[in-house]
Amino acid sequence: MLRAVLNARQHKSTIFTTNLTRAQLEHVYDKKLVSRAMRNVFLIKFEQATDKRIRRKRL
C-alpha cells in the first residue's frame, strides 16, 4: 500500500510522521521504498517536545 501511495504522489508534497530512524524504517520496509520516501526530504526533528496526552497529577 505504501508503495502505491508513493507512486501516486510522485512530484507532490507528502508528510510522513514517525518515531523510527531511517535504519529502523529500512528494517521494517524495503530499502528501495524508504529511499523513494526519503527523496527530497525536509526533516523536522522534535527533540524536546513533551507528550501533551500525559497529564501530570498533583500530589
| Angstrom distance (rounded) from CA 38 to CA 43 | 9
Banded pLDDT at 2 (limits 50, 70, 90): confident
Radius of gyration of the chain (CA): 16
For the chain, the 3-state helix, strand and coil shares in percent, each to the nearest 5, are: 35, 0, 65
34-50 pLDDT, tens digit per residue, is 988 888 888 888 888 77
Contacts of 14 (CB under 8 A, 6+ apart): 5, 6, 37
Domain containing 47: what range?
1-58
Structurally, the chain folds into a number of domains equal to 1
Q: What are phi and psi of 6, to 5 degrees?
A: -65, -40
